[in-house]
């Protein structure tokens, strides 16, 4: 059973038409400002342009030969995606800042806008990618052949291959026409193709769905699930071998080199650069793409092994090419619709690759190869050519046709001899040559133009010699002796065993030698040469893209007439676009009614960057230079500019540092100031309270003295009474002043402490004796309970005594005379000795408990009742206790007495010698 | 990369982890005559390790740090 050729053609054309419609809508919506691709999912899907027919057809073929040997090609991009966060983001940042539109442009721009370098990269890219294009042509041509052939006859693969040469040319021409329609409809200054990206994302969906459907059909339609397939395969020794690692060629080195190769490919394939960097609309999309894209790779590879094993089980070895299983299996089972859909999937894989790759290559060929040549020949300067955007489009279209025809040529020359994957790997090895100059350019300032040239040339030559030429030789276009015995029979020059290096597969072999030559020349020549002016400036701009791109100075002085500059832009970008650019620049800068006649360096740079978007950095540089009177810079000038810049950067860093320090200092000062204000307020309070407290006794002393003074007739008993009051008040005044002075000394830390080891039991006894009179007078019972054998503490005897007497006196004062009871207890708690003085007086109200230890706060209503003390006893006591490392506190239930307790740290086995020392500071 | 953010450091670690898991010699550990649900252990392992790495990357970048992305921090100039 086979499919009708007309039907296949209709389906293919219909599919291409659908793509075109999607691209058209995408472009229209982009123009209207409602971009369809401003979405991380679309970005991630469009990145899947990585999966070509190599993946769609070739992976199965590779798996049928090497088991999981097809996987490194997808593991590499997964690993690289993890690093995209740094590498790709930097690439995007650099490219958008410099209007870079291709790899060639990137390399040329980085190394001083070198036309030579841009041209070289373009040539390497075109030559390197041609086999890859050939792969797509071969795959589509073969797939058409398969659909047209009759699978019932014995040789599905052979029959297809015989005729596929003819199809390949048609496919190439069709794809060329389609790409021209698609990608070069108009010249876009930004080189962005939103419609194309939308179509590519759609194609990624189509190929994924098609492949998964075939996978599901094979796994569950032909067999009874994956377990069934692998169980059957296990019975064939040859198939069983595929489930082991020995099937994977090259082992350690082979696996690692394929991973490395694909890591380079995902970054440096022209189409990947186009999609990932040039077409990126928002670098934040990366954070989704770094996991969606690898997940896509997993999904499209999930069924590779089941299809490969299923095909091998169904078709006897060699009868059907494993590269065609995806089509041959549904076809063999008579599932024509599924086969046709699989064909569309393969077609979408091929067209996506071809469209993006050829657009990227045509941009390079036009901007970095043809333009510089035309400029050299002086063809673009003739006044006759007014608007060159048509010429540019023409060049690009020519380049697209050229690339596809080269692909066809390679397919005819070498395509038959290799499986799909092997052809693709040749291209991967070619683009890997870009890795050193690209990565070096982004992270190493000292890479020079000459180093990049040397590295690329060396790597490219080694690649050509060890991989490309052998592929021709195997196809019979070069004598096989060349492969077997080397150039002129020198065996050391055998291209696949260079210098006698054997034991590696050809890809690993090529990768090793070419990267060795590449990196060696790049680094070596860079280190032993000196970078030019432009290279240094661009190097800074690229390497410091994240940190200080805006700080890179203008290494350039010159001026041009504004009209000439405008004329130039009009010629390459068209009038409308050029005028718009000037207008927007004018708005930015603030030209009002009229623009100046002379363009300054900033405007010239701006114009050059806009132009670079259309024709590449190197060509833009050359063209702008033609209308600018440039003042050459001497090396001294450059050094001065560099010094100034680095000095400015250093100053700015220093300034940032200083300002941070200043902020910290300010914060400290503010805190200190707050504290001082608080202290000041406290001092004011204190002074006013003290004055008030002093005035009360003074007032009564004065009042009674005055009475005695004014009235000499006062009788003796009254006189005695008044004089008694005066004496009492004077004593109180003295006590008050003593206390105030004492507290001031304590607080200022100027108090003298005579610290000795003393036994608290003695203190208790002495204090009880000293206050005995007071208790007896008020008829209050005092009970002492000492529950320790010894109570040694290190403290000032007089001070501790003062505290204890104060507490006892307070207790005596507040108890009711007659019925009062005070209990004094000395006991030991862990590490401390604690003294409790408990009374059965009225207690202290809840709200007073918290500030009874403040200065001049006394329990009870001081307004109505006559104060019974100075109000300083407790604060002083607390200061003293805390100075010795103890605590003084109050527990009280109003109505049933109060307990004042204090602790002092116990001192065991202490030296008995008295210690006299000054207090170091406030005891707090 | 002196000023690498936590996210950056995690990603580098995941890159190294991926290089380790999806490469020789660890692959040899799973080249056994065993199957998981009928599928050879080696195949199951490779895909499982692959998906695990991707899942961890997704976790790291989607959770992220509030001050990300790196390099976007305003500078004093």
Dist CA A766 CA A770 (whole Å): 6
Cβ-Cβ contacts under 8 Å, A75 against chain B:
18, 22, 50
User: Is the model's pLDDT at A425 over the cut of 70?
Assistant: yes
Is residue A53 very low, low, confident or very high in pLDDT (cuts 50, 70, 90)?
A: confident
* Average predicted confidence (pLDDT) for chain A: 80
A81 in contact with chain B, both atoms CB, cutoff 8 A: yes
Output A369-376 pairs: Cβ under 8 A, ≥24 positions apart: A369/A118, A369/A119, A369/A122, A369/A123, A370/A395, A370/A399, A371/A395, A371/A615, A371/A616, A371/A619, A372/A115, A372/A118, A372/A119, A372/A618, A372/A619, A372/A622, A375/A619, A375/A622, A375/A623
Closest by CA position to A613, among listed A185, A114, A191 = A191
Let me know: does A894 contact A844? Beta carbons within 8 Å: yes
Query: Does the ipTM exceed 0.95?
Result: no
Cross-chain Cβ contact A75/B69 below 8 Å: no
pLDDT tens for residues A99-144? 888 888 888 888 888 888 888 899 989 888 888 888 888 888 888 8
Contact assignment for B57 to A652 by CB distance below 8 Å: no
Q: A250 pLDDT band (50/70/90 cuts)?
A: low
Which pLDDT score is estimated for A596?
Answer: 67
Average pLDDT (A347-359) is: 88
Residue A866, pLDDT > 60, answer no
Does the pLDDT at position A917 exceed 70?
A: no
Q: How confident is the model at residue A683 (pLDDT cuts 50, 70, 90)?
A: confident
C-alpha separations of A37 from A199, A278, A411, A496 in Å: 10, 13, 34, 45
Judge contact between A630 and A386, C-beta under 8 A. Answer: no
- What is the mean pLDDT of the segment spanning A754-777? 85
Of B11, B23, B31, nearest to A85 by CB-CB distance is B11
Query: Is A5-377+394-444 a domain of CATH 1.20.1730.10?
Result: yes
Task: Closest CB to B8: pick one of A86, A295, A298.
Answer: A86
A78 contacts on B by Cβ (under 8 Å)? 18, 22, 50, 53-54
Task: Say if residue A532's pLDDT is above 80.
Answer: no
**pLDDT at site A862:** 45
Contact of A260 with chain B, judged by CB distance below 8 Å, is answered with no
Residue among B21, B24, B63 with most chain A CBs within 10 A, to mutate = B24
- What CA–CA distances, in Å, run from A913 to A107, A764, A790? 86, 22, 18
Q: What gap in Å lies between CA A728 and CA A867, rounded to an integer?
A: 13
Each residue of A427-459: pLDDT tens digit? 888 889 999 999 888 888 888 888 889 999 999
A43 in B contact zone (CB under 8 Å): no
Q: Which residues of A touch B62 (CB under 8 A)?
A: 287-288, 291
Cβ distance of B54 and A225 shorter than 8 Å: no
d(CA A833, CA A335): 98
More confident residue, A918 or A415: A415
Helix (H), strand (E) at residue A833: strand A832-839
Nearest to B24 among A78, A226, A255 (CB): A255
Phi then psi for residue B74, to 5 deg, are: -65, 140
Residue of B nearest to A253 (CA): B24
Contact B11 A68 (CB under 8 A): no
Task: Tell me the chain B residues in contact with residue A302 when contact means C-beta distances shorter than 8 Å.
Answer: 47
- Mean pLDDT over residues A545-560, rounded? 60
Sheet containing A915-918: order of strands: A792-796, A752-759, A915-918
Touching B: A residues 88-127, CB under 8 Å: 89, 93
Residues 280-299 of A with CB under 8 A from B: 283-284, 287-288, 290-291, 294-295, 298
Minimum CA–CA partner of B25 in chain A: A252
- CA pair distance A896, A815, nearest whole angstrom: 11
- Reported confidence tier of residue A326, pLDDT bands at 50, 70, 90: confident
How big is the CA angle at A283 (ends A277 and A287), to the nearest 5 degrees? 110
pLDDT tens per residue, range A368-419:
888 888 877 776 655 455 567 777 788 888 888 888 888 888 888 776 666 6
Using one digit for the tens of pLDDT, what is the confidence trace for A160-174?
Answer: 444 556 777 877 888
Nearest CA in chain B to A263: B19
* Closest of A255, A673, A257 to residue A432, by C-alpha: A257
Q: Which residue of B has its CA nearest to A255?
A: B23
B1, B15, B51: residue with CB nearest A298: B51
Helices (H) and strands (E) in chain B, counts: 3, 2
pLDDT at A526 over 80: yes
Q: Which residue among B11, B25, B76 places its CB closest to the CB of A82?
A: B11
Q: Do residue A302 and residue B47 have CB atoms under 8 angstroms apart? A: yes
Is residue A351 predicted with pLDDT exceeding 60?
Answer: yes
Interface of A with B in 395-434 (CB under 8 A): none
Of A85, A252, A548, the CB nearest to B8: A85
Neighbouring residues of A662: CB distance < 8 A, sequence distance ≥ 6: none
pLDDT band of residue A919 (cuts 50, 70, 90) is very low
Is it the case that residue A420 has pLDDT exceeding 70? Answer: no
Q: Which of A91-105, A440-454, A857-871, A883-897 is least confident?
A: A857-871
Place of tokens 């070509």: A52
d(CA A343, CA A142): 10
pLDDT, position A924: 38
Contact A83 B58 (CB under 8 A): no
Say whether pLDDT at A861 is over 60.
no
What is the mean predicted confidence (pLDDT) over A504-510?
Answer: 83
pLDDT recorded at residue A625 = 75
Higher per-residue confidence, A544 vs A547: A544
Low pLDDT (below 70) residues in chain B: 1-3, 64-77
In terms of C-beta density within 10 A (0-12 exposed, 13-18 middle, 19 or more buried), how is residue A872 classed? buried
The residues with which A823 forms a beta bridge, in sequence order, are A783, A838
Q: Which candidate from B8, B38, B61 shows the least CB-CB separation from A290?
A: B61
In sequence order, the β-bridge partners of residue A783 are A823
Residue A227 has its nearest CB partner, among B37, B54, B62, at B37
Residue whose C-alpha is closest to residue A501's, from A514, A518, A488: A514
Checking if the pLDDT of A871 tops 80, the result is no
DSSP β-bridge partners for residue A727: none
HSE of A685, CA atoms in CB hemisphere, 13 A: 10
Stated as kind and residue range, the H or E segment containing A226 is helix A225-234
pLDDT of residue A912: 41
A437, A782, A813 from A776: Cα distances, Å: 104, 9, 12
* B22, B27, B77 member nearest A652 (Cβ): B77
Q: Spell out which residues of chain A touch residue B1, defining contact as CB-CB under 8 Å.
A: 86
Cα distance between residue A508 and residue A515, in whole Å: 10
pLDDT of residue A12: 84
Q: Say which residues have a Cβ less than 8 Å from residue A786's Cβ, sequence separation at least 6.
A: A761, A764, A825, A826
Instruction: Give the per-residue pLDDT at A668.
Output: 92
Q: How far is residue A889's CA from residue A849's CA, in Å, rounded to a whole number?
A: 9
Identify the pLDDT of residue A150: 58
Q: Which pLDDT score, from 0 to 100, does residue A94 have?
A: 86
The CATH T-level fold of domain A751-918 is Heat Shock Protein 90 (3.30.565)
Q: How far is CA A904 from CA A6, A756, A803, A881, in A?
A: 108, 13, 12, 7
Report the pLDDT value the prediction gives residue A288, as an integer from 0 to 100: 86
User: Which of these ranges, A489-498, A605-614, A657-666, A722-731, has the smallest mean pLDDT?
Assistant: A489-498
A546–chain B nearest CA distance, Å: 5
Residues 6+ apart with CB under 8 A from A194: A26, A27, A29, A30, A35, A36, A37, A279
Q: At what angle do helices A115-148 and A434-443 cross, to 10 degrees?
A: 130
Beta-carbon count within 10 A of A554 CB: 13
The partner residue sitting opposite A230, judged by closest CB among B18, B38, B55, is B38
Beta partners for A755? Answer: A796, A915
pLDDT band at A549, cuts 50/70/90? very low
Q: What is the pLDDT of residues A685-716, one digit of tens each?
A: 878 877 877 888 888 888 888 888 888 787 88
pLDDT for the residue numbered A163? 55
Whole-model pTM above 0.90? no
Tokens encoding A261: 């190769």
Nearest CB to A294 within list B25, B54, B71 = B54
Chain B residues whose CB is inside 8 A of the A240 CB are none
pLDDT of A581-620, one tens digit each?
777 777 776 665 566 667 777 777 777 777 777 777 777 7
Least confidently predicted of A257-271, A376-390, A784-798, A864-878? A376-390
Q: Mutation target for A interface from B30, B50, B68: give the one with most A CBs within 10 A.
A: B50
Residue A238, CA distances (Å) to A66, A243, A246 in order:
11, 10, 12
Query: If we measure between CA atoms, which residue out of A207, A580, A597, A626 comes closest to residue A382?
Result: A626
On whether the CB atoms of residues A77 and A54 are closer than 8 A, the answer is no
Cβ-proximal residues to A368 (8 Å cutoff; 6+ apart), any chain: A102, A104, A105, A108, A115, A118, A119, A121, A122, A616, A618, A619
Closest-CA distance, B66 to chain A, in angstroms, reads: 14
Q: Which residues pair with A792 in a beta bridge?
A: A759
Residues of A in contact with B49 (CB under 8 A): none
User: Are the C-beta atoms of residues A427 and A264 closer than 8 Å to each other?
Assistant: no
Q: Which of A623-627, A634-638, A710-714, A807-811 has the highest mean predicted lDDT (pLDDT)?
A: A807-811
Interface-testing mutation among A44, A291, A544, A552, with chain B (most B C-beta atoms within 10 A): A291
Could you tell me which chain A residue has the CA closest to the CA of B61?
A: A287
As a whole number of angstroms, the distance between CA A342 and CA A56 comes to: 9
What band does A298 get if pLDDT is binned at 50, 70 and 90?
very high
Which residue from A84, A110, A85 is spatially nearest to A97, judged by alpha carbons?
A: A110
pLDDT at position A751 is 77
Edge-first strand listing for the sheet containing A629-631: A598-599, A557-561, A629-631
Q: Is the pLDDT of residue A914 over 50?
A: no
CA R_g for chain B = 18
Share of chain A above pLDDT 90, in %: 7
Tens-digit pLDDT profile for residues A638-675: 666 666 667 777 788 888 888 889 999 999 999 999 98
Per the CB < 8 A criterion, the answer to whether A157 and A315 are in contact is no
Q: Where are the domains of chain A?
A: 5-377+394-444, 558-633, 649-724, 751-918
What is the separation of C-alpha A817 from the centre of its chain, rounded to a whole number of angstroms?
80
- Residue among A76, A82, A225, A305 with most chain B CBs within 10 A, to mutate: A82
Token pair of A889 as six digits: 């506190």
């Amino acid at each position: 059973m086979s499919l009708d050729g007309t039907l296949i053609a209709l389906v293919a054309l219909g599919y291409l038409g659908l793509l075109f419609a999607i691209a058209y809508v995408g472009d229209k919506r982009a123009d209207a400002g409602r971009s369809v691709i401003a979405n991380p999912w679309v970005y991630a899907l469009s990145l899947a342009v990585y999966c070509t027919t190599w993946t769609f057809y070739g992976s199965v073929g590779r798996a049928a030969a090497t088991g999981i040997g097809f996987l490194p090609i997808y593991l590499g991009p997964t690993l690289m995606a993890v690093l995209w966060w740094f590498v790709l983001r930097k690439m995007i940042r650099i490219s958008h800042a410099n209007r870079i539109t291709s790899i060639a442009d990137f390399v040329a721009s980085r190394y001083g806008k070198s036309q030579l370098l841009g041209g070289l990269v373009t040539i390497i890219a075109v030559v390197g990618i041609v086999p890859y294009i050939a792969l797509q042509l071969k795959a589509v041509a073969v797939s058409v052949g398969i659909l047209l052939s009759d699978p019932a006859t014995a040789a599905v693969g052979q029959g297809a291959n015989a005729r596929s040469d003819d199809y390949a040319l048609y496919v190439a021409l069709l794809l060329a026409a389609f790409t021209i329609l698609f990608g070069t409809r108009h010249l876009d200054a930004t080189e962005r193709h939103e419609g194309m990206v939308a179509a590519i994302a759609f194609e990624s969906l189509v190929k994924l769905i098609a492949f998964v459907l075939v996978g599901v059909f094979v796994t569950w339609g032909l067999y009874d699930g994956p377990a069934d397939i692998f169980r059957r395969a296990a019975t064939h020794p040859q198939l069983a071998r595929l489930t082991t690692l020995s099937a994977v060629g090259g082992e350690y080195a082979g696996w690692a080199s394929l991973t490395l190769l694909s890591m380079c490919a995902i970054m440096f394939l022209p189409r990947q650069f186009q999609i990932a960097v040039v077409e990126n609309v928002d670098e934040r999309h990366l954070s989704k793409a770094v996991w969606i894209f690898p997940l896509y790779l997993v999904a499209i590879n999930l069924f590779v092994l089941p299809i490969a094993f299923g095909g091998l089980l169904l078709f006897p070895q060699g009868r059907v090419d494993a590269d065609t299983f995806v089509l041959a299996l549904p076809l063999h089972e008579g599932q024509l619709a599924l086969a046709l859909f699989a064909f569309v999937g393969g077609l979408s894989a091929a067209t996506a690759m071809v469209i993006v790759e050829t657009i990227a290559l045509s941009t390079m060929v036009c901007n970095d190869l043809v333009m510089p040549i035309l400029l050299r020949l002086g063809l673009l300067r003739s006044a006759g050519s007014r608007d060159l955007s048509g010429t540019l489009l023409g060049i690009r279209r020519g380049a697209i046709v050229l690339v596809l025809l080269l692909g066809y040529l390679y397919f005819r020359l070498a395509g038959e001899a290799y499986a799909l994957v092997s052809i693709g790997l040749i291209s991967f090895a070619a683009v890997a040559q870009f890795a050193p100059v690209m990565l070096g350019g982004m992270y190493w300032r000292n890479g020079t133009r000459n180093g990049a040239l040397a590295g690329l040339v060396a790597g490219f030559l080694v690649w050509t010699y060890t991989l490309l030429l052998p592929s021709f030789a195997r196809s019979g276009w070069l004598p096989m002796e060349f492969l077997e015995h080397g150039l002129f029979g020198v065996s050391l020059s055998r291209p696949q065993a260079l210098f006698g290096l054997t034991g590696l597969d050809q890809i690993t072999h090529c990768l090793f030698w070419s990267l060795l030559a590449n990196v060696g020349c790049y680094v070596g020549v860079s280190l032993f040469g000196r970078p030019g002016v432009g290279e240094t400036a661009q190097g800074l701009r690229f390497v410091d893209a994240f940190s200080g791109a805006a700080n890179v100075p203008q290494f350039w002085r010159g001026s041009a007439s504004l009209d000439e500059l405008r004329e130039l832009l009009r010629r390459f970008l068209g009038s409308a676009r050029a005028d718009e650019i000037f207008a927007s620049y004018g708005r930015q800068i603030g030209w009002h009614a009229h623009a100046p006649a002379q363009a300054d360096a900033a405007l010239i740079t701006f114009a050059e960057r806009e132009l670079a978007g259309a024709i590449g950095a190197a060509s833009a540089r050359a063209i702008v230079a033609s209308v600018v009177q440039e003042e050459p810079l001497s090396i001294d000038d450059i050094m001065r500019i560099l010094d100034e810049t680095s000095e400015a950067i250093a100053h700015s860093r220093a300034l940032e540092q200083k300002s941070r320090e200043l902020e910290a200092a300010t914060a400290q000062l503010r805190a200190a100031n707050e504290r001082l204000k608080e202290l000041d307020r406290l001092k004011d309070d204190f002074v006013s309270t003290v004055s008030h407290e002093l005035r009360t006794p003074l007032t009564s002393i004065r009042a009674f003295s005055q009475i005695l003074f004014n009235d000499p007739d006062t009788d003796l008993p009254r006189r005695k009474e008044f004089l008694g009051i005066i004496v009492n008040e004077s004593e109180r005044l003295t006590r008050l002043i003593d206390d105030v002075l004492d507290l001031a000394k304590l607080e200022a830390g100027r108090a003298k402490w005579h610290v000795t080891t003393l036994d608290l039991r003695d203190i208790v006894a002495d204090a009880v004796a000293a206050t005995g009179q007071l208790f007896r007078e008020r008829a209050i019972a005092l009970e002492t309970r000492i529950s320790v054998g010894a109570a040694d503490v290190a403290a000032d005897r007089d001070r501790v005594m003062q505290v204890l007497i104060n507490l006892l006196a307070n207790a005596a004062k507040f108890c009711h005379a007659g019925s009062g009871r005070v209990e004094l207890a000395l006991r030991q708690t862990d590490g401390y000795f604690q003294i409790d003085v408990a009374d059965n007086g009225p207690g202290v109200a809840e709200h007073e408990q918290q500030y009874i230890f403040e200065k001049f706060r006394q329990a009870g209503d001081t307004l109505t009742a006559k104060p019974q003390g100075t109000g300083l006893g407790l604060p002083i006591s607390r200061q003293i206790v805390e100075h010795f490392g103890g605590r003084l506190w109050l527990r009280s239930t109003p109505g049933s007495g109060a307990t004042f307790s204090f602790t002092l740290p116990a001192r065991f086995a202490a030296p008995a010698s008295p210690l006299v020392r000054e207090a170091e500071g406030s005891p707090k | 990369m002196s000023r690498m953010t936590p996210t950056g450091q995690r990603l580098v670690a995941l890159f190294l982890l991926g290089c380790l898991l999806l490469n020789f010699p660890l692959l040899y550990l799973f080249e056994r005559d065993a199957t998981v649900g009928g599928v050879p252990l080696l195949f199951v392992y490779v895909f499982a390790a692959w998906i695990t790495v991707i899942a961890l990357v997704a976790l790291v970048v989607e959770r992220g740090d509030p001050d990300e992305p790196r390099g976007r921090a305003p500078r004093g100039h």
